[in-house]
Amino acid sequence: MNEKVIWDCLLSLVGNVYGTAAIMGNLMAESSLNPQCATGKNKTANYTKDADNGAIDFVNDGVAYGLVQWCFCTRKQGLMDYAKATGRSVGHLQMQLEYLVKEMSENYKTAWKTVQSTNSIRTASDIVMLKYEKPASTSEVAKKKRAYYAQKFYDQFAGSPSPAPSGKKMVRATSQVNIRMTPDKKLAKVGELKKGQELEWIATENGWHKVAVWVSGDYSEVRS
């Protein structure tokens, strides 16, 4: 299911379990965690395919799309540009998560700072809702619904590291380690992995471990 994939990817980018849960709770309310969710009168039967091949005016058609339900033209343009730049479909799950973090960290700094630093799920959930998602309804009922989803994801995935899945390797932080989109310490970090937190190992290259992104091998280890 998408839930564990989204949790692992977001945690690797955000570096904070509370903020990760808050983002996921908001995404659940927006799209039920479906990266190809499309809503609006102009959506087509094969909307993602039509967007990828240019058969529709994806940027300006007013259709809310993806995990975040991107709708405003400049935000959809950014999503499409990032998809093309990385050679993936506009409906690709991990691409959308990467773009979410890129967009939030660059353009919605209050929300980004909060999800990286808070230890309150409700605080982070409200900030993501009000400062990043900006839905039509910002009622207390709507806030509680998103915070409820966030708490469920936190309860499901956060806590002590679990044993490595059979046949798989994990990367465990031996101390706090910065998370980067590419294996280069000169580039800005996009998050942090706390000591003891783990993500599934993909590859090791030149002293860096690749998970959904990259962490320095100086502060992490791979275990079976």
Q: pLDDT of 6-27, one tens digit each?
A: 999 999 999 999 999 999 999 9
8 Å CB contact between 21 and 153: yes
Average pLDDT over residues 59-67: 98
8 Å CB contact between 19 and 114: yes
Predicted local confidence at residue 166, as pLDDT = 56
Q: How confident is the model at residue 33 (pLDDT cuts 50, 70, 90)?
A: very high
Instruction: Answer whether residue 145 shows pLDDT above 70.
Output: yes
What rounded mean pLDDT belongs to the chain? 89
Predicted local confidence at residue 202, as pLDDT = 81
Average pLDDT over residues 55-75: 98
Predicted local confidence at residue 108, as pLDDT = 97
Q: pLDDT of 74-103, one tens digit each?
A: 999 999 999 999 999 999 999 999 999 999
Q: 19-55 b/e with 16+ CB inside 10 Å = b?
A: bbbbbbbbbbbbbebebbbbeeeebeeebbebbbeee
Q: pLDDT of 183-215, one tens digit each?
A: 877 766 767 777 777 777 887 877 788 776 677
The CATH 2.30.30.40 domain(s) of the chain lie at: 170-223
* The amino acid at 214: W
Rounded Cα distance, 190 and 23, in Å: 15
* The amino acid at 178: N
End-to-end CA distance of the chain: 23
CATH superfamily, domain at 170-223: SH3 Domains (2.30.30.40)
Class of the 2-157 domain? mainly alpha
Predicted local confidence at residue 162, as pLDDT = 47
Predicted local confidence at residue 72, as pLDDT = 97
Nearest to 35 by CA among 19, 20, 51: 51
Q: How confident is the model at residue 159 (pLDDT cuts 50, 70, 90)?
A: low
The CATH 1.10.530.10 domain(s) of the chain lie at: 2-157
Rounded Cα distance, 144 and 197, in Å: 28
